[in-house]
Amino acid sequence: MDQKLTRQAAKAAGMISIMFLLSRILGFVRESLSGSFFTRFETDSFFAAFIIPDVMYYLLVGGALSAAFIPVFTEYLTKGEEEEGWKMTSTFINLVFLVLAGLTLLGVFFTRWIIPLEAPHFPANKISLLISLTKIMFPAVCFTALAGLVGGVLNSYRRFLGPALGPNIYNIGIILGAALLGSRFGIKGMAIGVLLGAIGNFLTQLMFLPKCGGRYYRFGYIDLKNKGFRRMLILWIPALIGLSADQVNIWATTAMASGLPEGGITAIRFASRLVQLPIGIFAAGISMAFFPLLSSLVTEKKMESYKDTLSLSLRTIFFIMVPA
């Protein structure tokens, strides 16, 4: 096992976990503000408004980053084929942006017909608020996706500060939306904060990108015949299937919770945040730091080092997560 690279990954995991801990603290501040400033009638609609944008993000970007993009791009970097890697990256970024932009426009237009499927038991006035909030938050998915993609590039270069800092900026945007705009626009001010936070997250990733070098090809550059892009799609399909089941479960939970007494969706959201706290801080931090290293070791065919590093990362996660 390469001790130097492993120590670097361990230090990065510690830094990322600290940043994620700060993000979770800001997340609790955000949730506390939503509970203090707004009624359960409003917060139920606000949290339900995340469902459709989140489904779009996780299906198109979330699974692709961990299962496909980072391993393939890291392989290009390890082999010294950075330019080819950036051609694949540019194709993926441009294609995802165009698809999400199109889906966002369609989503905003068809929201009033989609929302009743998401929250079938909401009364008419609650449905109306949910439609308004969803329309405000829909564009945020484009910036969240771009932030995730740029963050994936930074992770592949093992520059973790931007991806670790981004969620904090996102939460700060929502907090400012609630605190500064809530008195004037109600819960819609918090929805505006979601959009501003997503933009801030994306800009944060961009700040760190020039340090990586590389070259983003022009906007609109899409090479569907690119070998790396095709390999990435093959790796992405299994992740898509798994994430689809997860997102269907979340959608179904929200649909059923819409029939609960007022505040039901809000209570489920708060409970889910608490349960996911150890995963979001420790498991995510360790995974983010070690994953590019593992991908690089596979490319270099250093299987013994790969096994040792994988074992170390898994043992560390279990050591922390089992007591939690």
Q: Which two tokens stand for residue 240?
A: 């898509």
Q: What is the spatial distance between Cα 78 and Cα 230, in angstroms, rounded to a whole number? A: 19
Q: What is the spatial distance between Cα 114 and Cα 108, in angstroms, rounded to a whole number? A: 10
Q: For every one of its 324 residues, what pLDDT tens digit does the chain have, with 9 covering 90 and above?
A: 556 767 777 788 888 888 888 888 898 888 888 878 888 889 999 989 988 888 888 877 776 666 788 889 988 888 888 888 888 888 988 988 898 889 889 988 888 898 888 888 899 999 999 999 999 999 998 899 899 889 989 988 888 888 889 999 999 999 999 989 988 889 999 999 999 999 999 999 989 888 887 677 677 788 888 888 888 888 888 877 777 777 788 888 888 888 888 888 888 888 877 777 777 777 777 878 887 878 888 888 888 887 888 888 888 777 776 665
Q: Which two tokens stand for residue 236?
A: 């992405």
| Residue type at position 271 | A
pLDDT of amino acid 323: 60
CA distances from 179 to 33, 95, 173 (A): 8, 36, 10
Question: Among 295, 273, 275, 262, which Cα is nearest to 125's?
Answer: 262
pLDDT of amino acid 322: 65
Q: What is the spatial distance between Cα 218 and Cα 1, in angstroms, rounded to a whole number? A: 40
| Cα Rg of the chain (Å, integer) | 20
Q: What residues does each domain of the chain span?
A: 3-321
Residues 6+ apart with CB under 8 A from 165: 19, 204
pLDDT of amino acid 191: 94
Report whether 136 contacts 161 (CB < 8 A).
Answer: no
Global pTM reads: 0.88
Report whether 74 contacts 296 (CB < 8 A).
Answer: yes
Q: Which two tokens stand for residue 154?
A: 């930074």
Residue ranges in the chain assigned as alpha helix (H): 3-37, 40-48, 51-57, 63-64, 70-78, 82-118, 124-137, 140-156, 161-176, 182-185, 187-208, 227-257, 264-275, 277-278, 284-299, 303-321
Question: Among 91, 203, 94, 88, which Cα is nearest to 143's?
Answer: 203
pLDDT of amino acid 214: 67
Chain centroid to CA 273: how far? 15
Long-range interactions of 265-268: CB distance < 8 A, separation 24+? 265/43, 265/44, 265/47, 265/48, 266/34, 266/35, 266/40, 266/43, 266/44, 266/47
Residues 6+ apart with CB under 8 A from 127: 115, 116, 119
**Token pair 């299906």 is at which residue?**
59
